[in-house]
Amino acid sequence: MTARADRSSIIEFRDVSKVFTGRSGDVTAVDHVDLSVNAGEIFAVIGYSGAGKSTLVRLINGLERVTSGELVVDGQDVVQMSESQLERKRRDIGMIFQQFNLFGSRTIAGNVAFPLKVAGWSKERRDARVAELLDFVGLLDRAHSYPDQLSGGQKQRVGIARALAAGPKILLADESTSALDPETTQDVLRLLRKVNRELGVTVVVITHELEIVRAIADRVAILESGHVAEIGTVFEVFTNPQSEVGRKFVSTVIHDKPIGDDLARIRQAHPGRIVTATVHDGSRLGTVLAGAGAQGVSFEIVYGGIGTLQARSFGSLTLELSGPEAAVDQVVAQLRGVTEVEEVA
Ligand SMILES: Nc1ncnc2c1ncn2[C@@H]1O[C@H](COP(=O)(O)OP(=O)(O)OP(=O)(O)O)[C@@H](O)[C@H]1O
């Protein structure tokens, strides 16, 4: 059965598999994947090493060919395309890489101009376009430098300018910040956001770090052994992961519940009932706690934090509630009435 394409989807995988045949047998890198990327969004693909992320994304621009299934990219079925059709199609799909893949013997301007030269643009048009792109990525003054004179972050800016040269609708970013330090990573992520917001380019980001997803993506698919373990908005996946692998990823970035030594220390110092309550916009935790005293229950905040996720507050607080058991039960019930509450063992 083939699902009808969502009108807003720009990339549509329908039951797509990719099998590599090697000497030591077949490897199914992508295993019956159904997913769609919406036009204009920043979509992240996350997974551990070997999960099939790179292969999945390389299918989009035909660097790898689909073994079975349908793959529609911007209205065209790339499975049926010939190599020369794919070559033309790739002009609408920019790609950047972890190791930047710049030509060391060409200047920055020469690197950005290269795809335009291949596409047959005149020198005059190329020069104007290169200047415009270098200005966009903040490197106009480095036009005549060579890649090895640039920092890693600057090299990736050149990579982005080159990927955007022919005005693609889609930009694929394969571990594009993995070789960069945290500060430079933030710079590159800001630039990718600018590409998305100002140019309307759909961005597909591959990463193995959930922090990258949190910083940039609108939606995320978690890959495990070639299949989609779960997919959702970043807020949904962070706040309520549905799969085991999703929970594992989220626990690496959201330390919302005390575990191990932290839990042992809290237990020792706080003999009362310990619960963790989720905090998000509109959860009236404070109102409930303000009324706890009148019911004979006192509380301490013993662990937790609140941050921002996709412009919404999100976090959790672990509380020690002390007082008569029935009254504590009542306050826990009131907390459950306004938010999710978990007993801490
Ligand atoms: N050209 C190839 N030939 C044979 N097997 C391959 C090839 N490319 C990838 N694979 C295998 O396919 C599986 C998925 O690899 P892929 O590189 O897509 O995963 P990944 O999630 O991107 O991993 P990483 O984060 O390490 O890059 C792995 O088992 C890998 O060894």
- CATH value at residue 170: 3.40.50.300
**317 CA to centre of own chain:** 26
- Residue 265 and residue 244 share a domain: no
**25 CB under 6 A from ligand 1?**
no
- Residue 305 and residue 229 share a domain: no
**91 CB under 6 A from ligand 1?**
no
**294 CA to centre of own chain:** 46
Q: In this structure, are residues 298 and 341 in contact, taking their beta carbons and an 8 Å threshold?
A: no
**pLDDT attached to residue 176:** 84
As a whole-number percent, the residues of the chain with pLDDT over 70 amount to: 97
Instruction: Specify the DSSP class assigned to residue 217.
Output: -
**328: domain range?**
260-343
Q: What does the radius of gyration of the chain's CA atoms come to, in whole angstroms? A: 25
Residue 1 included in any domain: no
- Residue 264 and residue 246 share a domain: no
Look up residue 344 and give its two tokens: 């801490």
From 121-135, 191-205, 283-297, the region with the lowest mean pLDDT: 283-297
Task: Assign 88 to helix, strand or coil.
Answer: helix
Residue with CA nearest ligand 1 atom 10:
29
Number of domains, the chain: 2
**pLDDT attached to residue 196:** 97
DSSP 249-313: HHHHH---S--HHHHHHHHHH--SEEEEEEEETT--HHHHHHHHGGGT-EEEEEEEEEEEETTEE
Counting from 1 in the atom list of ligand 1, the atom nearest the Cα of 30 is 14
**21 CB under 6 A from ligand 1?**
no
**pLDDT attached to residue 11:** 97
Phi first, then psi, for residue 210 (nearest 5°) are -70, -25
- Segment 161-186 shows an average pLDDT of 92
Domain boundary among 202, 224, 253: 253
**177 CB under 6 A from ligand 1?**
no
pLDDT tops 50 at residue 3: no
Residue 328 included in any domain: yes
**pLDDT attached to residue 2:** 43
Q: In this structure, are residues 99 and 179 in contact, taking their beta carbons and an 8 Å threshold?
A: yes
**pLDDT attached to residue 330:** 96
Residue with CA nearest ligand 1 atom 5:
20
Residue 15 included in any domain: yes
Q: How far apart are CA 65 and CA 59, in angstroms?
A: 6
Residue 73 has a CB neighbour count (10 Å cut-off) of: 23
**54 CB under 6 A from ligand 1?**
yes
pLDDT tops 90 at residue 238: no
**pLDDT attached to residue 1:** 41
- Residue 225 and residue 172 share a domain: yes
Residue with CA nearest ligand 1 atom 16:
52
- Segment 25-51 shows an average pLDDT of 95
Task: Assign 330 to helix, strand or coil.
Answer: helix
Q: What is the pTM of this model?
A: 0.84
Largest CA distance in the chain: 82
Residue 195's Cβ-count burial label (10 Å; 0-12, 13-18, 19+) is buried
Cα distances from 231 to residues 84, 221, 235, in angstroms, run 33, 4, 11
Task: Assign 64 to helix, strand or coil.
Answer: coil
Tokens 């794919």 locate to 86
pLDDT tops 60 at residue 80: yes
- Residue 279 and residue 328 share a domain: yes
Residue 23 included in any domain: yes
Mean pLDDT (the chain, rounded): 91
13 forms beta bridges with 35, 71
Q: What is the ipTM of this complex?
A: 0.95
- Segment 201-209 shows an average pLDDT of 95
- Residue 299 and residue 242 share a domain: no
- Segment 230-258 shows an average pLDDT of 86
Centre of ligand 1 to C-alpha 163, Å, is: 23
Cα–Cα–Cα angle for 20, 25, 28, rounded to 5 degrees: 40
Centre of ligand 1 to C-alpha 63, Å, is: 13
Residue 3 included in any domain: no
pLDDT tops 90 at residue 310: no
- Residue 44 and residue 141 share a domain: yes
- Residue 180 and residue 124 share a domain: yes
Higher pLDDT, 211 or 36: 36
- Residue 201 and residue 79 share a domain: yes
- Segment 261-287 shows an average pLDDT of 88
Instruction: Specify the DSSP class assigned to residue 82.
Output: -
Q: Specify the CATH number for the domain of residue 289.
A: 3.30.70.260
Q: How many CA atoms lie within 13 A of 244 on its CB side?
A: 1
Cα distances from 94 to residues 38, 60, 69, 87, in angstroms, run 17, 11, 23, 12
Q: How far apart are CA 16 and CA 82, in angstroms?
A: 18
- Residue 136 and residue 95 share a domain: yes
Residue 143 included in any domain: yes
**pLDDT attached to residue 68:** 96
**pLDDT attached to residue 178:** 86
Question: Given the DSSP bridges, would you call strands 68-73 and 76-77 parallel, antiparallel or unpaired?
Answer: antiparallel
Residue with CA nearest ligand 1 atom 30:
50
Residue 255 binned pLDDT confidence (cut-offs 50, 70, 90) = low
Residue 262 binned pLDDT confidence (cut-offs 50, 70, 90) = confident
- Residue 306 and residue 268 share a domain: yes
Domain boundary among 238, 253, 268: 253
Residue with CA nearest ligand 1 atom 31:
50
**27 CB under 6 A from ligand 1?**
yes
Residue with CA nearest ligand 1 atom 11:
29
**268 CB under 6 A from ligand 1?**
no
**Count of helix runs (H) and strand runs (E) in the chain:** 12, 14
- Segment 192-208 shows an average pLDDT of 96
Centre of ligand 1 to C-alpha 65, Å, is: 14
Residues in the chain: 345
Centre of ligand 1 to C-alpha 223, Å, is: 12
320 forms beta bridges with 274, 300
- Residue 23 and residue 66 share a domain: yes
Domain boundary among 253, 280, 306: 253
Q: In this structure, are residues 72 and 7 in contact, taking their beta carbons and an 8 Å threshold?
A: no
Residue 7 binned pLDDT confidence (cut-offs 50, 70, 90) = low
Tokens 């692998």 locate to 245
**304 CB under 6 A from ligand 1?**
no
Q: How far apart are CA 46 and CA 44, in angstroms?
A: 6
**104 CB under 6 A from ligand 1?**
no
